[in-house]
Chains A and B, each alone.
Chain A
Amino acid sequence: MSSLWERVEPLLARVNKPARYIGCEDGAITPRHGAGKVAWLLAYPDTYEIGLPNQGLQILYDILNERDDAVAERTYAPWSDLEALLRQRGVPLFSVDTHRAAGDFDLLAFNLSAELVYTNVLNMIDLAGVPVRSARRSAEDPLVVIGGHCAFNPEPLADFVDLVVLGEGEEVIGEITDVVRDWKASGRTAGSREGVLRALAQVPGVYVPALYDVEYDGPALRAVTPRYPDVPAVVSKRTIADLSAWPYPRRPLAPLTEVVHDRLAVEVFRGCTRGCRFCQAGMITRPVRERPAEQVRTMIANGLRATGYDEVSLTSLSTADFSGIEEVTASLAGCGTTVSLPSLRVDAFTVGLAGQVSGGRRSGLTFAPEAGSWRLRQVINKLITEEDLYGAVESAYSQGWHRMKLYFLTGLPTEADADTSGIVDLAANCVRIGRRHTNRASVTVSLGGFVPKPHTPFQWFGQNTTAELRRKVQLVRDAGQRAKGVQVKWHDPSATLAEGIASRGDRRIGAVLERVWRDGGVFQEWSEFFRLSRWEEAMAAEGLSVEWFVNRHRDEDEVLPWDHLSAGLHKDFLWLDWQEALAEHGLEDCRWTPCYDCGVCTGFGIEHVVASPVPPAGGSQGTGQDLARGGEVPVALISRRPAQAAEVPA
């Protein structure tokens, strides 16, 4: 393997932001390749600015490079200007660390956090000089791997990837490395690719799509079955039991050029049991595993020293729920470090916390009530009362903030026009509260179209049509124009449709992705590159119905394309929760209340790891607890009660 730098360097004078392609970040390693080492190329299928901060990729990069038998480098999707030059001059995709050709690595592993990047995956495989369809690859080609949240329905990409890794990668990447190392040692002879894939299918958490047959019954899916007796019928996700055993990244990457989330990130817990029914992340990352506050403090101190950052983001799916939050933020007070808390819970306690850590900065606060009425918030199990929201907003304006952003979804199950227009009523009331404090008070409503996701209670729900989403967006826009101080921003419903096609698609969608990509449809998350007609034409050309794949409600007994993949959630738990949703019943957070037997803890023999046995002070969202009782709530941390979802309070 040799460096392509001599060929890449002259191209960089001709492209936008060339710093994206040079590596050299603080925290980057100097890789030492060797015959006995398994070489991973960790790829993020979007721009460097979006991909570099990705914590999953940084964690695996660090863990792999600590091994004696592995080496990991990174690559990101080259922007269109560089891609054109690479293709024109015949230069393949390269790593940013040492500018090695992507095709020279043993594994090309993509982190997938959104569906609209799928066509970039195809493009990067092709730029690497590797056949795009896995069936056409030979022993010399890298194994193409995908992981990350979207891997929980990998079927649309099944024909293009060799391996799918379900769940958390900390342990399983080592086990994959072992198998690939032995394969390399055996000479990677012609025809040995099938053998190594069979061996990898034995690794728990690894799914090899080529080893399964798919049968259809007209438009419906009949079954996905293993072709060999040693291949598992159901592949289950991997989960680490103890987050404190994995204090990664030990060497956080500090980029040389501006990126999104340009600050140190320290993960305070993983998993979320708030149980928001639209949220795939909350369903597939269970159970909750907190990092000890002391370790968080050490990781912050080491990370700041190593990077020179003066800002740290405490990451998780709901950071105010972290038991050690006050201990950690208090330890950072007055040391000149700014703390940012992403995914704020909606209550006054959280705002107070945000006020303490922002050191006087008042740049803007973001809350996510997600739905415009209490009825609909019970349907989606985002149990924020109007009092919670107004209390949070009052607290924020009184502490000097004057700009709020409220996130909402539209196209949710059972959503009626009253729920939709309730969005603007909420926002207008927030402005009214704000005007008591400042004339500058303003609220921005950010509206996204809802895409039902696999492994959630809403996986059976028929997504709203593009026309219906447009109508609802227009309702909100019209109402927003009449409301003083309210601005409305919205996502393009066309992109929501494309996301819907990829989100719950089966293997037949693979041909659609390939058509969209060959037609130039890369960077589909970027509006300047997105054109819905490409997707509609590709669906039509493949004889596939958008209505069938996207807008149709599914039945209880329908075979779903991801039924042979398990995030640990019982399908009957999800169905029951879907029925509870339709009955407008909320469900309490099982971290502090009895177990509903969703299947994850019992199935994997793991438990919630939560330092505090009581819900966080002042937090009501999703706990369903009476605030006044506070710490008195009796809590069984680990309960083995069988399914009792019927008991949920109305």
Chain B
Amino acid sequence: MRVRVRYEKLGKIRFTSHRDTARHWERAVRKAGVAVSYSAGFTPRPRMSFGLALPTGAESVAEFLDIDLESLPENATDADALCPLFDSTLPPGYSATRVAEIPSGTASLQDAVVACTWHLDLVGVGTDDLAACTERVMSASSVMLERERKGQRSVDDVRPAILSLEAAPPTGGDGTRAGLVATLATTSRGLRPLELVAALLPALDPVDTTGRVLRTHQMIDVDGAIRELLPLDAVGARARTERG
């Protein structure tokens, strides 16, 4: 059976890379004693596939991975029962918030996800200035940005990848920050949070300007409708409360 896990990555652990995260999960699953399926060959690896990479340094409440299991643990009534098991073996900062069985043949995370929503805190930027920049970008028909991908510099129109931008309260800081909620496309060449900041505020250093980066949702396209992947419904919310 295949399960899809939704999990959080918050706090210091955000400084680990996507590759590191895969290793954390491999070890956590082994420690938890969950009956995961292994690949064949001389170097059997647990069958797990990870979704879109989270940039090193970014946090998230909407990370996903798929795991192939031989079976659920004996006393588990449903897949969600795996959440506390994973939480007890994952490094601090991770928490599994939902586990759901998915039918075989479900599109992989890499293929299915079309957009992500990000909550960004911008340091040293006034709310009014940010509103003006947002307005400028949203009303523009194209936004050219020079960026580096795989060691190649190129100038791209990133406007099509910006699906929505909204002012929001910052999630942290001392009042010198402005918050922004952005939904960015991941397909085609996509747009990364730091690249968005560079496009919005070209005069500022994006690394200095960007405070917290939090991924809040990942979206899939279901027959033309954009829907959140594995939302935290009543079941998930209840599980979280009980653990908390």
Contact = CB atoms under 8 A, between A and B. Distances in A.
Contacts of A18: 15, 56-57
A24 B93 contact: yes
Interface in B1-47: 12-13, 15-17, 19-20, 23-24, 26-31, 42-44
Given A19-B20, A24-B13, A254 B27 contact: yes
Q: Is the interface of B mostly helix, strand, loop or mixed?
A: helix
A256 B26 contact: no
A257 B27 contact: no
A24 B91 contact: yes
A22 B13 contact: yes
A24 B93 CA distance: 9
Given A22-B13, A24-B91, A359-B42, A256 B56 contact: no
B207 interface: yes
B87 to A, nearest CB: 14
Contacts of A355: none
B92 interface: yes
Nearest to B29: A308
A258 interface: yes
B15 A308 contact: no
A624 interface: no
A359 to B, nearest CB: 7
Nearest to B24: A256
B89 interface: yes
A414 interface: no
B207 A256 contact: no
A22 B42 contact: no
Q: Is the interface of A mostly helix, strand, loop or mixed?
A: loop
Interface residues of B, number: 26
B42 A256 contact: no
B95 to A, nearest CB: 14
Given A24-B93, A256-B24, A12 B57 contact: yes
Contact of A305 (B16, B31, B93): B31
A14 interface: yes
A307 interface: yes
A26 interface: yes
A310 B30 contact: yes
Nearest to A16: B56
A23 B27 contact: no
Interface string A346-366: 000000000000011110000
Contact of A19 (B17, B26, B29, B31): B17
Interface in A295-345: 305-310, 336
A592 interface: no
A360 B24 contact: no
Contact of B19 (A258, A309, A359, A362): A258
Contacts of A336: 44
A646 interface: no
Most buried by A among B15, B16, B28, B44: B15
B31 A258 contact: no
Nearest to A336: B44
A58 B27 CA distance: 20
Interface string B165-198: 0000000000000000000000000000000000
A21 B57 CA distance: 13
Interface in B147-181: none
Nearest to A5: B12
A22 B12 contact: yes
A251 to B, nearest CB: 14
Interface string A1-42: 000000000001110011101111110000000000000000
6 contacts: A18-B57, A26-B91, A256-B13, A309-B30, A361-B42, A362-B42
Interface of B: 12-13, 15-17, 19-20, 23-24, 26-31, 42-44, 56-57, 89, 91-93, 207, 210
